[in-house]
Amino acid sequence: MTEFPFSFSNRFQLLGDLNSENKIYQTKQNLEKSGNAIFDLTNSNPTKLGLEFPPGALSHIFSSLDCSQYDPLAEGLESARKAIVSEYTNREIPAKPSDLVLTASTSEAYSYTFKLFTNPGDEVLTPNPGYPLFSFLIGLENLKEVHYPLKEDPETGRWVYSAETIANCVSTKTKLIVLVSPANPTGSRTTANFWKEWEALGIKIPILLDEVFVGYEFSGEPHQIPEEPTFPLLVCNGFSKMLALPQLKLGWILTKGPEVYQSEIQKNLGFIADTYLSVNSPVQLATPELIPWKTMMQNRIRTRIMRNMAQCVLFVEENPKIKKKPATEAGWYFLLELDLEKKDEDLVLEILSKTNVFLHPGSWYGFSHNRCILIVSLISEEETLRSGLETLQTFLK
Ligand SMILES: Cc1ncc(COP(=O)(O)O)c(C=O)c1O
């Protein structure tokens, strides 16, 4: 081990063992190095899957911008915020440009929200199962992640938010609650009924509502934002899923809640944003031109998802070793549960080594290691998914 004449932040230890090589990724790399084609059913980067924003339109939009002047504004250019507000207006969600602060991604929106409400050592509640990114975002702020469980409805097999369960996880150290709706990877949503139950509990702890997958809902009860929350609500979103433009690095926070808190929240958020001024001018100038592409982009992605979902549903129906589960109601992921007595990571490794099909084990998202839940990206290329599922079918026989 290298000895350093200085010390690194404790954050890295708090985040766990970051050095150990992941055996699954190592195997994938080795297979690729020896010339094997991998059926990667995990990829959710739309720019690599034939779902990229039209390059000609992107060049045209950016080539007509005058980026020569720098007029920084902590909360972001008003023209960009107005264009984003129009999205909320279309959804009949009251919002004003002054309720918005732009960030360089949704991940950065998390980091601003942590800075706004927490001190090192405080607790942030996050859903489990959930997206592993949150552990790192929380750990890098010297905060403690505490999971609240999503409940698996025994009748429908769906993972749902329960207001009571979340409330039971609140402690005196809880300074922020994260809700993701539609959730990654379960598609869980914060419904009107959920908010009614939550408000009845009278908890005033701020909530970060991550809705990066809004617009990707296919069935079931719709995702909702409470109309007049009685607690501070910070709704976070960005271009990475909305427009399939993760590379442009634009996110935002829409603040909602009782008027008495709003001005202090906006002032402090503005201070954080002003300190970094991290959002580049070109993307802000381009935002009014980019937003109108949303319908077209989301239609393309939704079509891909629906076609892939049909393949996955058929695969489940035809395969006795796969537990019958409901189709995805929202989001970009399909959960396959195999009826096998194996650890999920061992199974993923075995499938990868024997068939070159790459799936994510559910335990990486907080599902139990002992349930063979595998995660499939529904924006995979259709042909890759078809070949991958066919190969998996032969493996399972
Ligand atoms: C639920 C969820 N929130 C946030 C993010 C991060 O989004 P961004 O690329 O805007 O930082 C992701 C990325 O996949 C995500 O799945």
pLDDT digits (tens, 9 = 90+) for 182-225: 999 999 999 999 999 999 999 999 999 999 999 999 999 999 99
Distance 106 CA to ligand 1 centre (A): 6
Nearest to 208 by CA among 272, 278, 279, 265: 265
Ligand 1 near 128 CB (within 6 A):
no
Distance CA 80, CA 87 (A): 11
Instruction: Say if CB 102 and CB 284 are below 8 A apart.
Output: yes
Given pLDDT bands bounded at 50, 70 and 90, which one contains residue 390?
A: very high
Nearest to 141 by CA among 265, 231, 11: 11
Domains recognised in the chain with CATH numbers = 21-52+295-396 (3.90.1150.10), 65-291 (3.40.640.10)
Instruction: Say if CB 367 and CB 323 are below 8 A apart.
Output: no
Given pLDDT bands bounded at 50, 70 and 90, which one contains residue 384?
A: very high
Residue 367 in this model has a pLDDT that exceeds 80: yes
Angle 365-369-374 from CA coordinates, rounded to 5°: 55
Distance 380 CA to ligand 1 centre (A): 17
- The pLDDT assigned to 14 comes to 77
Residue 370 in this model has a pLDDT that exceeds 80: yes
Angle 199-254-246 from CA coordinates, rounded to 5°: 125
- The pLDDT assigned to 118 comes to 98
Percent of the chain with pLDDT strictly greater than 70: 99
Ligand 1 near 184 CB (within 6 A):
yes
Which amino acid, residue 154? P
> 259-276 and 106-117 helices cross at what angle (nearest 10)?
120
Ligand 1 near 251 CB (within 6 A):
yes
Q: Which of 110, 113, 131 to mutate to test the pocket of ligand 1 (most atoms within 8 A of CB)?
A: 131
Peptide bond into 46 cis (omega under 30): no
Distance 47 CA to ligand 1 centre (A): 15
Cβ neighbours of residue 216 under 8 Å, at least 6 residues apart? Answer: 182, 241, 298, 301, 302, 305, 330, 331, 332
pLDDT tens, residue by residue, 150-186: 999 988 889 999 999 999 999 999 999 999 999 999 9
Q: Which of 138, 186, 241 to mutate to test the pocket of ligand 1 (most atoms within 8 A of CB)?
A: 241
Quick one: average pLDDT of 48-53? 98
Q: Which of 212, 365, 377 to mutate to test the pocket of ligand 1 (most atoms within 8 A of CB)?
A: 212
Q: Which of 107, 179, 181, 223 to mutate to test the pocket of ligand 1 (most atoms within 8 A of CB)?
A: 107
Cβ neighbours of residue 185 under 8 Å, at least 6 residues apart? Answer: 129, 131, 331, 332, 333, 335, 365, 375
Distance CA 112, CA 271 (A): 10
Kindly give the residue spans of alpha helices, DSSP state H, lying in the chain.
11-14, 23-33, 55-63, 78-90, 106-117, 133-139, 163-168, 192-201, 239-242, 259-276, 281-290, 294-318, 344-355, 382-396
Residue 85 in this model has a pLDDT that exceeds 80: yes
The CA-based dihedral angle spanning residues 196, 200, 201, 207, taken in that order and rounded to the nearest 10 degrees: 40
Distance 212 CA to ligand 1 centre (A): 6
* 39 vs 324: which has the higher pLDDT: 39
Which amino acid, residue 217? E
Residue 239 in this model has a pLDDT that exceeds 90: yes
Quick one: average pLDDT of 246-270? 97
pLDDT tens, residue by residue, 262-318: 999 999 999 999 999 999 999 999 999 999 999 999 999 999 999 999 999 999 999
Distance CA 326, CA 186 (A): 11
Residue 253 in this model has a pLDDT that exceeds 80: yes
Instruction: Say if CB 216 and CB 331 are below 8 A apart.
Output: yes
pLDDT tens, residue by residue, 101-114: 999 999 999 999 99
- The pLDDT assigned to 326 comes to 82
Distance 17 CA to ligand 1 centre (A): 23
Q: Whose CA is nearest to atom 1 of ligand 1?
A: 184
Chain-centre distance for alpha carbon 360:
16
- In three-state secondary structure terms, 256 is strand
